[in-house]
Amino acid sequence: DAGVTQSPTHLIKTRGQHVTLRCSPISGHKSVSWYQQVLGQGPQFIFQYYEKEERGRGNFPDRFSARQFPNYSSELNVNALLLGDSALYLCASSPGLPNTEAFFGQGTRLTVV
């Protein structure tokens, strides 16, 4: 069985550029959440989507946006990249709400130069 898959695994972008990160949840899971993890810190909640609707948003600027597709996959978009956006971006998949059982993908490591 495939776990949570994220793409790309690594990415280097220049300040001011835009980036799109992708996530495919475990088959049958309808909830996807996005987290940002900077070095030395725990993951920070960015968004949660369930049944294609945004159900929660963390304390991140409007440069961050996301969406969930009919097949439950999801995209995280970040505009006008800053150096401080360099981090590991993690996608978590869960069957539904509440997400008492969240499974994480391997993450996308974004470096902004």
Partner 1 sequence: RKEVEQDPGPFNVPEGATVAFNCTYSNSASQSFFWYRQDCRKEPKLLMSVYSSGNEDGRFTAQLNRASQYISLLIRDSKLSDSATYLCVDLTGTASKLTFGTGTRLQVTL
Residue numbers of the site for partner 1 (CB under 8 A)?
A: 31, 33, 35, 40-45, 48, 55-58, 90, 92, 94, 97-107
Provide the minimum distance between the beta carbon of 16 and partner 1 in the complex, in angstroms, as a whole number: 27
Beta carbons within 10 angstroms of residue 51's beta carbon: 12
- Cα–Cα distance between 7 and 42 in angstroms, integer? 21
Provide the minimum distance between the beta carbon of 49 and partner 1 in the complex, in angstroms, as a whole number: 10
Provide the minimum distance between the beta carbon of 112 and partner 1 in the complex, in angstroms, as a whole number: 18
Question: Torsions phi, psi of 109, nearest 5?
Answer: -90, 110
- Cα–Cα distance between 86 and 100 in angstroms, integer? 28
Q: Which is nearer to partner 1, 15 or 101 (CB)?
A: 101
| Backbone dihedral region for residue 10 (phi beyond 0: left; psi -120 to 50: alpha; all else: beta) | beta
Q: Which is nearer to partner 1, 46 or 78 (CB)?
A: 46
Q: Which is nearer to partner 1, 80 or 97 (CB)?
A: 97
- Cα–Cα distance between 94 and 31 in angstroms, integer? 5
Provide the minimum distance between the beta carbon of 59 and partner 1 in the complex, in angstroms, as a whole number: 11
